[in-house]
Amino acid sequence: MPNYWLGLMLAVVFSQKLNLLPSGGNLEGIKSLILPAITIGTGLMATMTRTTRSSMLDVIRQDYLRTARAKGVPEKKVINVHALRNALIPIITVVGTEMGKALGGAVVTENVFSWPGVGRLVIEGVNQRDTTLVTGCIILTAVMVSIVQLVVDILYAFADPRLRAQYSSGGKRRARAEKKEGVQA
């Protein structure tokens, strides 16, 4: 469901019909953030849930989990420690990609809920033909997306020790040793 449609429906139901939350602006503090956060987070939540399920189903069939169960490791530990840790790489990838999309979707959400932000600033810059402002906002967004991708890459190393070893000094030594063995063979 598109952000603008979900945002409008949430505003109609919770602001106009039920009169529980403000429909726009930032006058009421944290209450003003609830509807925009739900609007942006719903798409991310659906994709993350689907990816987590798919990744866990792939990992749960692996032989090493059957071995852990055969050794008597409690099922909760098998799932939470062994399976989830190995299923994290695709999940982290999707979350990082979706965060970039959420930054783009925030432009629409900011306008639906009359929330001042970078997206609204871009639209004002386009309407006023202020190319410097638009360029600055685009560069800011690109830097934010790049930082998210850097964090994703760092999280890969925490999630999968094999990746950490590959890019640490130990991984370099091992790569040199493998290269040396390949030359001798």
Measure the CA–CA gap between 113 and 116, rounded to whole angstroms.
9
pLDDT tens for each residue of 32-90: 888 888 988 888 888 899 999 999 999 988 888 889 889 998 999 988 888 888 888 89
Out of 5-9, 104-108, 154-158, least confident range:
104-108
Confirm whether 143 is domain-assigned.
Answer: yes
Q: How confident is the prediction for the chain on average, in pLDDT? A: 84
**Mean predicted confidence (pLDDT) in 124-133:** 94
Burial of 33 (0-12, 13-18, 19+ CB in 10 A): middle
DSSP structural state of residue 115: -
10 lies in some domain: no
Instruction: Say if residue 144's pLDDT is above 80.
Output: yes
Establish if 14 belongs to a structural domain.
no
Assess whether pLDDT exceeds 60 at residue 185.
no
Residue 55 lies in a domain: yes
Alpha helix positions (H), the chain: 3-10, 31-60, 63-70, 75-77, 84-112, 118-127, 131-159, 161-167, 169-184
pTM score above 0.85: no
Residue 157 lies in a domain: yes
Quote the percentage of the chain above a pLDDT of 70.
89
Q: What pLDDT does 32 receive? A: 83
pLDDT at residue 127 is higher than 90 = yes
Q: Could you tell me if 98 and 3 are in contact, meaning their C-beta atoms sit under 8 angstroms apart?
A: no
Position 15 confidence tier, pLDDT thresholds 50, 70, 90: confident
Q: Indicate whether 6 belongs to any domain.
A: no
Position 34 in a domain: no
The whole-number pLDDT of residue 100 equals: 81
Domain membership of residue 62 as a residue range = 50-184
Structural domains of the chain, count: 1
Quick check: is 20 in a domain?
Answer: no
